[in-house]
Amino acid sequence: MEFETIIGLEVHAQLLTRSKMFCGCSADYVGAEPNTHVCPVCLGLPGALPVINRQAVRYTIMTGLALNCQIPAYSKFDRKNYMYPDLMKGYQISQYDLPLCVNGYLEYEHDGVRKRVGIRRVHLEEDTAKLVHANDGGVGYSLVDVNRAGVPLIEIVTEPDLRSPEEARAFLMALRQVLRYLGVSTANMEEGAFRCDANISQRTRDGSIIGPKVEIKNMNSFRSVERALAYEVERQRAALQRGEQLIQETRGWLEDQGMTVSQRTKEYAEDYRYFPEPDLPPLFLTEAEVAEIRAAMPELPLARWERFQAEYGLSPQESALLTEEREVADFFEACLQGDRQRAKAVANWITGPLFALMRERGLSLSGLGIRPEQLRQLVTLVENGTINALTAKDVLEAVCATGKDPETIVAEQGLAQVSDVAQLRAVVQSVLEQNPKAVADYRRGKSAALGFLLGQVMKALGGRANPAVARELLEEALQAPVD
Ligand SMILES: [Zn+2]
């Protein structure tokens, strides 16, 4: 039997608003003392009334537009009723039948292939409180931290268009990139600002067997999404092949054990007794309002990736490296200041030495502290021959360490490269005298000896020799007749 995997995702992303969804409490709660970002509204006290966060609505529409959704003129909030200790009011304010954004798609490149995944809807809701499970001498109990309750949350629901765990992971990374470009979410999975549940099922290609949809929860990283789904593909296929009846259920991923376990049978919408939220007005959106939001949107990753290739002649790979994060893409263009001739050199400096420094120090580009003008100046110093590429890397580190401009560092430390022929010739002469063996090797046809001798010249000048001139003088001296 040949099976096909069908995957749809539900992604929750916290929005980067200053205040919570329905009250004035700060939404920036990460690292705060428990239960300090609270008020009667987000504590769910009787009689407290919610007020819609305008910025959260705007961010949701931006997300919808970036995902090519339609933005209906009329939308509303609904109460989703269920009993769980993380829900302060006994219901969650969410959106049921009339979400803010519908019928879109996300287009992205993965491994050189253009993908398009349907987006069924994007709706706006509030996050729940956080439960901390503890154990005191064998007695288990749970603590409730309400700081997270009421933080604006968008739910993005895809069509079941994904066909493998690997595709699901690639889609999530592309989606995260879009949210970060928009600046609407940190989309940080480790901090819980970006969470994913998956619906996965199997069917045979001839349609003779169609397995039930199983929902997978508790996947806390891109890697665990891929692992959990791969596990589930195998589990479902093996069961169907044995002729077992699978059930529609929710299963949790156990990271340590590398398996999913049944949690409960799947709820249906009617279990939640949705009804329109009586304490909030519906949302009416005019075309002009949506057009204004659209006009203010930044260029999105796919468009920028294409433009970098067309405008700067970069390869797809270089362009992907530079556009992966908006901060890096912005930095690159700020370095160029419209000077396309420099594109290749600047791209090489960013994806080479700068990325290496970021990796080495575990910092983002802004964390390194170098400004675009400074990298531009550094590239200029190399291009006009003031310093060689070797010295430039040291200067780059010094810029990041001190914040000083490359020109200042070169002047203060006397790093300008030595191109003066007379000075270089003297050094070449003394290197040849001190290394008779290498000289003899070279003259016997061992051309590798030249590299060694060039290295010695560099060393004698603290790495500042102009390599092209030094090489030329070395060759000239070695070819001179032997005394
Ligand atoms: Zn509050």
> What pLDDT shows up at residue 465?
85
Between 263 and 148, residue with greater pLDDT: 148
Region 72-93 average pLDDT: 95
For residue 145, the CA-to-ligand 1 centroid distance in Å is 13
pLDDT over 60 (residue 483): no
For residue 427, the CA-to-ligand 1 centroid distance in Å is 73
422-438 per-position pLDDT tens digit:
888 999 999 999 999 99
Asked if 277 and 304 sit in the same domain, the reply is no
> What pLDDT shows up at residue 195?
97
In a domain, 54, yes or no: yes
Region 114-141 average pLDDT: 95
Report in angstroms the alpha-carbon separations of 387 from 117, 216, 407, 423, 456. 49, 56, 10, 16, 18
pLDDT over 70 (residue 412): yes
Asked if 279 and 320 sit in the same domain, the reply is no
In a domain, 11, yes or no: yes
> What pLDDT shows up at residue 269?
65
Q: d(Cα 37, Cα 309) in Å, to the nearest integer?
A: 46
For residue 121, the CA-to-ligand 1 centroid distance in Å is 27
> What pLDDT shows up at residue 480?
77
| CATH assignment of the domain containing 466 | 1.10.10.410
Asked if 339 and 425 sit in the same domain, the reply is no
pLDDT over 90 (residue 448): no
For residue 50, the CA-to-ligand 1 centroid distance in Å is 9
CB atoms within 10 A of CB 227: 19
Asked if 351 and 433 sit in the same domain, the reply is no
Number of domains comprising the chain: 3
> What pLDDT shows up at residue 479?
83
CB 80 within 8 A of CB 284: no
Name the burial class of residue 218, with classes exposed (0-12), middle (13-18) and buried (19+) by CB atoms within 10 angstroms of its CB. Answer: middle
> What pLDDT shows up at residue 88?
94
Give me the residues paired with residue 197 across strands. Answer: 10
For residue 127, the CA-to-ligand 1 centroid distance in Å is 12
Between 110 and 15, residue with greater pLDDT: 15
In a domain, 294, yes or no: no
Q: d(Cα 18, Cα 26) in Å, to the nearest integer?
A: 6
In a domain, 399, yes or no: yes
How confident is residue 482, by pLDDT bands cut at 50, 70 and 90?
A: low
Asked if 342 and 452 sit in the same domain, the reply is no
Ligand 1 is a single-atom ion; what residues have CB below 5 A from it? 23, 25, 39, 41-42
> What pLDDT shows up at residue 65?
98
Asked if 125 and 43 sit in the same domain, the reply is yes
In a domain, 293, yes or no: no
For residue 185, the CA-to-ligand 1 centroid distance in Å is 20
Three-state SS letters, the chain: CCEEEEEEEEEEEECCCCECCCCCCECCCCCCCCCCCCCCCCCCCCCCCCCCCHHHHHHHHHHHHHCCCECCCEECCEEEECCCCCCCCCEEEECCCCCCEEEEEEEEEECCEEEEEEEEEEEEEECCCEEEEEEECCEEEEEEEHHHCCCEEEEEEECCCECCHHHHHHHHHHHHHHHHHHCCCCCCCCCCCEEEEEEEEEEECCCCCECCCEEEEEECCHHHHHHHHHHHHHHHHHHHHCCCCCCCEEEEEECCCCEEEEEEECCCHHHHCCEECCCCCCEECCHHHHHHHHHCCCCCHHHHHHHHHHHHCCCHHHHHHHHCCHHHHHHHHHHHCCCHHHHHHHHHHHHHHHHHHHHHHCCCHHHHCCCHHHHHHHHHHHHCCCCCHHHHHHHHHHHHHHCCCHHHHHHHHCCCCECCHHHHHHHHHHHHHHCHHHHHHHHCCCCHHHHHHHHHHHHHCCCCECHHHHHHHHHHHHHCCCC
Between 152 and 476, residue with greater pLDDT: 152
CB 106 within 8 A of CB 175: yes
In a domain, 379, yes or no: yes
Region 171-184 average pLDDT: 98
What tokens does 393 get? 């890397």
Name the burial class of residue 285, with classes exposed (0-12), middle (13-18) and buried (19+) by CB atoms within 10 angstroms of its CB. Answer: middle
> What pLDDT shows up at residue 52?
98
For residue 19, the CA-to-ligand 1 centroid distance in Å is 8
Region 460-469 average pLDDT: 85
Asked if 332 and 280 sit in the same domain, the reply is no
Mean pLDDT, the chain, integer: 94
In a domain, 266, yes or no: yes
For residue 436, the CA-to-ligand 1 centroid distance in Å is 80
201-254 per-position pLDDT tens digit:
999 988 888 899 999 999 999 999 999 999 999 999 999 999 998 999 999 999
Asked if 280 and 375 sit in the same domain, the reply is no
For residue 129, the CA-to-ligand 1 centroid distance in Å is 12
For residue 167, the CA-to-ligand 1 centroid distance in Å is 38
For residue 305, the CA-to-ligand 1 centroid distance in Å is 40
CB 240 within 8 A of CB 246: yes
pLDDT over 90 (residue 165): yes
% residues pLDDT > 90 (the chain): 81
Which of 265, 288, 311 is the endpoint of a domain? 288
How confident is residue 49, by pLDDT bands cut at 50, 70 and 90?
A: very high
In a domain, 256, yes or no: yes
For residue 125, the CA-to-ligand 1 centroid distance in Å is 15
Asked if 263 and 363 sit in the same domain, the reply is no
Between 464 and 199, residue with greater pLDDT: 199
The Cβ-side half-sphere exposure at 217, using a 13 Å CA radius, reads 10
> What pLDDT shows up at residue 267?
65
What tokens does 278 get? 């009586």
Asked if 244 and 155 sit in the same domain, the reply is yes
> What pLDDT shows up at residue 430?
92
How confident is residue 391, by pLDDT bands cut at 50, 70 and 90?
A: confident
Which of 375, 393, 413 is the endpoint of a domain? 413
Between 450 and 333, residue with greater pLDDT: 333
> What pLDDT shows up at residue 277?
97
Q: d(Cα 466, Cα 420) in Å, to the nearest integer?
A: 9
272-329 per-position pLDDT tens digit:
999 999 999 999 999 999 999 999 999 999 999 999 999 999 999 999 999 999 999 9
Region 253-278 average pLDDT: 87
Asked if 351 and 395 sit in the same domain, the reply is yes
Asked if 408 and 466 sit in the same domain, the reply is no
For residue 273, the CA-to-ligand 1 centroid distance in Å is 25
> What pLDDT shows up at residue 111?
86
**Which residue range(s) make up the domain with 261?**
3-288
For residue 445, the CA-to-ligand 1 centroid distance in Å is 80
For residue 36, the CA-to-ligand 1 centroid distance in Å is 10
Q: d(Cα 143, Cα 136) in Å, to the nearest integer?
A: 12
Which of 413, 430, 461 is the endpoint of a domain? 413
